[in-house]
Structure 1
Amino acid sequence: MTPIAVFASGRGSNFRSLVHHIQEGKLSCRIAVLISDNSRAPALEFAREMGIPAQVIHPAQFPDAERFGEALLSALQPRQVRWIVLAGYLKKIPANLITHFPNRIVNIHPALLPAFGGKGMYGMRVHQAVFDAGVQVTGVTIHLVNEDYDAGPIVWQEPVVIRDCRSPEEIARRVLAVEHRLYPQVLQWLVTRPHRVTGKRIQWNEAIYDPN
């Protein structure tokens, strides 16, 4: 079982989905720790209910991003974490953490990047922008994390048709259902199947199949 850390800032619905997939034997990972920047995050309470170690580390506690990254590393290294999985985590990942986990930090975004991405684009902000733009198709992007917001190599994308949606909230519900199904499957590929990253592209050493 690959030890992973999950970072979450809020309710952590994708975190819950990962836990359930692990319990069902569909994801070959062990969540070694949940990290949050928010002491009131519902994800923390769920982690405690599940017996998963949880820790609050906020960047405001440190003089700069480098010290913040060092604190995160201090929480991860003793637990031998191999991958970091972002599940609604709203803080920028420090450069020294990215250096320590090259192409092993993964994020999920509720739109088809590079559209509707970048700094400040998360959660309902994304769905509101999608709704206001009048597009008929949005989607889910799972990508590796680099030092720029939502700009790392794309691992997988799935479109979601929204032409009949009448509100951003309806878009959010439809997209979230896809996130919960897709994230565990793609994470399973990443931790179990040989691959290499060349520039912005991921090359798999064997065929992978659409999780639909």
Structure 2
Amino acid sequence: MHVTAADAFYSSGNFWAAAAVIVALAAGGGAMWATLRAANPRRSIHVSMHETRLLRSHASLGSTLEIRRNGALLTDPRLVQVYLRNPSRRDIASSAFDQGAPLRVDLGVPILDVLGAESSPTTAQAPPAAASGAELGIGPGRIGRRSQLTYLVLIDGDPTFACRHTLIDVEVTEADLYDPGERAGRIVERAGRIFGMIATIGIVVTFLFMLVVSVAKEIFG
């Protein structure tokens, strides 16, 4: 077919052939990326904490109420919950702890006792934890996908929060305070990405449909 200068550029068969190649390459690249993403999803851990003071000043009590541990007076006792969450779609294996080194959470004040550990779902087993000075060492141990671990410790004083680790191929993020609304925010963000992908796929499918119709008209007149 001869194309004159007056013809629209999209009426050229060469244009549509090139467009088809570009769309095919883009679709193939997207499919490869999605396949690799599904086969190797990013692994991550979110570490956070929440503290509860066991003694609060009250005018009617004065200084008559005391808390002691093994006979020693605690001046500002607090219960601290340390949360580890694995929101990713893959387990974090024990081998991800480089040379068996634990993930360390530094609370800034000595940890007096490790009171317990819980996991959600309850069928999962929380990795072992041990206190050393102001640090809580967690692991090594398997952390299941989409699971949450909770460690309860007793301290005496105002805590800080810092996390150190040598985990392999695991992104670790931390927050000063456990935020129940964070999960809702992640769900909204994920839903936005999904809707964006659906919209992109819809545009590509529409373009391909228009391309097929145009090529069919070109071939069959």
Q: The TM-score by the shorter chain falls in which range? A: under 0.3
Higher strand share: 2
Instruction: Provide the TM-score with structure 2 as the length reference.
Output: 0.22
Q: Indicate the structure whose relative CO is greater, using CA pairs within 8 Å and at least 6 residues apart.
A: 2
**CA radius of gyration, larger in:** 2
